[in-house]
């Protein structure tokens, strides 16, 4: 969610254009990784790595309508969005572009792959539940309402939880030091973004009471 200002009447600001430009960067990075791994079809682990990268691209494609949707209200800030998106691209890119650390295939590698799929599914269900109230930007719409059903009965930010869980699985499969460090950066960016977003949400009637009884990402923890 967010509110972007037009720059002196000269069209959308960086906050509006950034998700679209970063989307293209993500497609380029993950797409390159998919091609690199799918060149080694004789190795099962590289084949699965390539297919996992293709699944990531499919995830990006599913969110195209949101990424390129014109906002009804202007975004309020762009710093958290830019860091969050850049950290996501860096995390996924460093994972898929690095060599697979495994000497051969093991069925245990299905665990991080399934965690990735579960995270993406969690995020998509959350986005579908919010419907038109979901945005990549931090913004308050005129008729903004608090959604408390579906996944939102359990935590306040299931879409961010899904984003983080998906990358835990993705990085866990490729598992190299760079992507592990960048995963921590992504988690920090998500945390900062949630705190920024909630300052806006607290101005919506009913959100304070809802927040008091629901964890942000992990029930009983945070």
CA 195 – CA 216 distance, rounded (Å)? 10
**pLDDT tens by residue, 62-72:** 998 888 776 65
Over residues 48-106, the pLDDT tens digits come to 999 999 999 999 999 988 887 766 555 656 678 888 999 999 999 999 998 888 888 89
Closest CA to 197 of 118, 136, 148: 136
Q: What is the structure's pLDDT at 1?
A: 36
| pTM of the shown model | 0.88
CB-count burial class (<10 Å; 0-12, 13-18, 19+) for 21 = exposed
pLDDT score at 8: 35
Which has the closest alpha carbon to 176: 86, 88, 99, 89?
99
């Amino acid at each position: 969610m967010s509110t972007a200002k037009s720059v002196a009447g000269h069209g959308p600001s960086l906050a509006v254009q950034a998700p679209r430009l970063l989307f293209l960067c993500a497609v380029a990075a993950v797409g390159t990784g998919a091609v690199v791994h799918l060149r080694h079809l004789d190795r099962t682990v590289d084949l699965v790595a390539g297919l996992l990268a293709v699944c990531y691209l499919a995830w990006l494609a599913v969110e195209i309508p949101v990424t390129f949707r014109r906002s009804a209200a202007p975004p309020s800030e762009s710093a958290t969005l830019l860091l969050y998106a850049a950290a996501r691209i860096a995390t996924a890119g460093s994972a898929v572009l690095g060599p697979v650390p495994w000497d051969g295939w093991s069925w245990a590698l299905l665990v991080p792959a399934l965690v990735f799929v579960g995270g993406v599914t969690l995020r998509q269900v959350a986005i579908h539940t919010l419907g038109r109230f979901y945005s990549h930007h931090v913004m308050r719409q005129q008729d903004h309402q608090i959604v408390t059903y579906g996944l939102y009965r359990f935590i306040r930010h299931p879409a961010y939880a899904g984003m983080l869980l998906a990358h835990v699985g993705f990085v866990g499969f490729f598992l190299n030091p760079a992507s592990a460090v960048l995963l921590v950066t992504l988690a920090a960016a998500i945390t900062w973004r949630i705190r920024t977003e909630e300052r806006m949400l607290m101005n919506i009637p009913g959100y304070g009471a809802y927040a008091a009884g629901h964890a942000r990402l992990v029930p009983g923890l945070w």
